[in-house]
Amino acid sequence: MAFENNVPHIQNDVAEGMRDISERRAATIANMIDEAKKRGIDDSFASDAIASYGAENAEADRKAMKDPDDFNEFRAMFGSDLNSVLYEMERVKDTEDELEIAFHYCPYVNKWKKQGRTPEEISHLCEVTMAGDHEYAKHFPCCRFDLEGTIADGDPVCTLRFTRNPDFHK
C-alpha cells in the first residue's frame, strides 16, 4: 500500500494549518503507543483515551443541538464544520434515512507514512484513533454508525455511514 490516493487538494492557509495540527496529533498518538510498547504496556489505554475524547465531543455537539435525538438535525450538523475542509469530506448520500460521507484525505495517514510506519502499523493506528468516532456515534442513539473502509487500510477514501436507527423512539 502506497496510500497514493491520500493527497490533499484543498490548498489554503486554514486547511494547511489544520493539517499541521492534526499531523502533530497523529505523531503524538503513535509516539505514545511506541513508548508504551517499550514499557510492556498494551495500547488499549490510547483507544480508551481517544474514546473519551469522542464522548466529550459528542456531548458538546448534543448540547449545541435543538433536538440531539433527531436524525435530520444530526445529519445537518455532522461534517458541517472546518473538519469538512481538513478531511476533504464529500456528502455522497444525504437523505432522511442515511448520511454517507467520504473522507478524501487523512492527515494522520500522511504523518504516519512520513514516520516510516508500515501499512499494518498505519492500519492499527487508524483503528486506535477511530475509537473516538465509534464512541462519538454511540451518543446519538437516533442513528447507527458504520465505518465502511479507510484510507489506512488502502481504500481510496474513508467511508462513514450513518443510518437512521429504526429501533430508536424518542
Across-strand partners of 99? 94, 162
Question: Which phi and psi angles does 103 have, rounded to 5°?
Answer: -100, 115
The 10s digit of each residue's pLDDT in 2-34 is: 788 999 999 999 999 999 999 999 999 999 999
Write down all domains in the chain, each with its CATH number in brackets. 13-164 (3.30.1380.20)
The 10s digit of each residue's pLDDT in 126-164 is: 999 999 999 999 999 999 999 999 999 999 999 999 999
DSSP 115-132: TT--HHHHHHHHHHHTHH
- Confidence band (pLDDT; 50, 70, 90) for 1? low
Q: Per-residue pLDDT for 169 more than 90?
A: no
pLDDT at res. 141: 97
Q: Per-residue pLDDT for 170 more than 80?
A: no
Amino acid making up residue 95: T
The 10s digit of each residue's pLDDT in 74-126 is: 999 999 999 999 999 999 999 999 999 999 999 999 999 999 999 999 999 99
pLDDT at res. 84: 95
49, with CB counted inside 10 A (0-12, 13-18, 19+), is: middle
- Is 125:37 a contact under the CB 8 Å cutoff? no
